A and B are shown apart, each in its own frame.
Chain A
Amino acid sequence: MIKFENVRFGYHETDVINNVSFNIPKNKYTCIVGHNGSGKSTIAKLIMGLENCRSGKIFVDGIEVNDSNLDVIREKIGIVFQNPDNQFIATTVEDDIAFTLENACVPQHQMQKIIEEYATKVGMQQYLKHDPEKLSGGQKQRVALASVLVGSSEAIIFDEATSMLDPEGKQEINQLITELKHNRTIISITHDMEELLNADYVIVLEKGVVVMEGTPDVIFSDIEKLQQLRLRLPFVLQVILEAKLKNFNVNNTMRIEEVVEVLCRSV
């Protein structure tokens, strides 16, 4: 779906993204992880054409991203940003969803129906007339998601979309992501390692370079490297690691139930 070919990018002299190549599979749930300053959010900006790369090429569905075809790219891919307050454009929920429709020149008489449909999809149908100031962070992000979904059907990027939310809001958004991931490409830029367990594909960035890439199984089989990168392991893997130190015979797995079963049997 999205392909980076030797991409370089930087805001000043030094490169933030240094000769990066990778391939994000279509209709899969891909996580891009890395520490602050690893360039992971910049990747999202490059895909959306908000920044132009210095060298290299970015392809979306075989189309090269450049200034002349941004419209096409943005019809395919939408993005939910980190801060819930800074992406709410209108003064009510319905007007905010309508903003995307207005930009896409959807005829006025069709808008009401579409708005209701997508508000229902994210569970915000009762809040159509509400002011964003009166919504919680999670609700705002749900509206942002609806506003993005009405315009871009094929892929959604979540740029640390849950990092400013309380646990409840985080849960809501993650729930929505799971619902959306059928027949849609989901790209989640995150530093929450637990999220990786649900992913189909993982790209690990460090200082603007791809250091690991593959399915979660592949990524988590190299625990040493993850520790070297100072990435906190998901809880399941921490348990397995500790269990192995205590001479329990557990295999590497990502399902906490399996670990519990093995441990219970051994005791």
Chain B
Amino acid sequence: MTVLGKYTHYNTLLHRLDPRTKLLSLIIMVVAILATTKLSVYLFLIVIVFIALITAKIFRNSIINIYKSLVFMGLMLLVFNVVLIKTGTVLFVIGNISVHQNAIMQTVFVWMRLIMLLSLSTLLTATTKPLDLSLGLEKSMEPLKKWHVPVNEIALIISISLRFIPVFATEAQKIMKAQTARGIDFEKGKLNEKMRGIVALLVPLFVSAFQKATDLANAMEVRGYSTTKPRTKYRVLKMNKNDFAFLMLVLLIFITALVLQYAL
């Protein structure tokens, strides 16, 4: 189950870019996608997105599964649109339901948007290490400090959460095994029996989570961590000319999309 693409290591241009470059590019591209409505612009943008996916070498693996999950949603959308949208020329009639051109177009547009948005966010998470991503977020949110947003603490919380995801996954498996040994069946049974199983899993998991949190807080405190003190940073992000070139390219795509939409 990889909804948001898991980081996979390749040495491509997109993998090497500064996380801030990728975050900013993502925002620019999302704006471009949401600000345009013409088919020509969408065809242009979707080609760009696919080129990006191919250069980052993530086209084959995870992305296909993500598209599959969109098929059902697209079909639902089509049904709703056919029933509700009654503008544009009538394309054909099934029984007593007339199918209008705009209904089809609207569905295609939404579907293309979804594909592009999902592809781009997958692109970001699949080419950026979680740690770099939280570092990039921290740096990009730096200006918010003026309004007393605890940017560094948020970033630390994110990176600690990421660090503990596999720990809790292992812990949950351990607890499940222990509870299975005590006679709880997690797979079969009626709904209420399953619910009881989940409680038997969650309660020990929460207890262990609190224990871990206390221990970790103690460990952090004795190693001199304090939210009120200034800290230095081990990891520094550096943008190089590749990043600037990439940003220029993204801006160029953005302008092209707007020109296609409004000037032509």
Distance A89 CA – B161 CA, assembled complex (angstroms): 10
Nearest CB of A to B135, in Å:
10
Instruction: Pick the contact of A99: B131, B162, B225 (CB < 8 A).
Output: B225
A107–B234 CA distance with the chains assembled, in angstroms: 8
On chain A, the residues within 8 Å of B13 by CB distance are none
B233 interface contact, C-beta 8 A: yes
- Contact call A71/B222, Cβ cutoff below 8 A: no
- Among A48, A107, A133, max chain B CB count under 10 A is at A133
Q: Does A9 contact B (CB under 8 A)?
A: no
A85-B167 in contact (CB<8A)? yes
State which of B14-22, B29-37, B211-219 sits at the interface with chain A: B211-219
Q: Contacts A50-B218, A83-B215 given: A71-B224 contact, CB under 8 Å?
A: yes
Interface residues of B (CB under 8 A from A): 130-131, 159-160, 162-163, 166-167, 211-212, 215-216, 218-226, 229-236
A98 touches B224 (CB 8 A): no
Return the 8 tightest CB-CB contacts between A and B, nearest first: A98-B234, A86-B215, A103-B224, A87-B219, A100-B223, A102-B231, A91-B163, A86-B212
| Alpha-carbon separation in the docked complex, A151 to B223 (Å) | 7
Residues A91 and B223 in contact in the complex (CB < 8 Å), given A101-B232, A108-B234: no
In addition to A48-B222, A81-B215, A91-B162, 14 A-B residue pairs with Cβ atoms within 8 Å of each other are A78-B222, A79-B222, A81-B219, A86-B219, A91-B130, A99-B225, A100-B223, A103-B224, A103-B226, A103-B229, A103-B231, A105-B230, A105-B231, A107-B232
Tally chain A residues at the interface, Cβ within 8 Å: 39
How far is B211's CA from A88's CA once the two chains are assembled, in angstroms?
14
Chain B residues with CB under 8 Å of A95's CB are 131, 234-235
The CA-CA distance from A131 to B166 in the complex, in Å, is 11
Give the residue name and chain of the A residue nearest to B223 (CB). Answer: A100
B233 to nearest A CB, angstroms? 6
Could you tell me if B233 and A74 are in contact, using CB atoms closer than 8 angstroms? Answer: no
Asked whether, in the complex, the Cβ of A86 is within 8 Å of the Cβ of B162, the reply is no
- Min CB–CB distance B143 → chain A (angstroms): 21
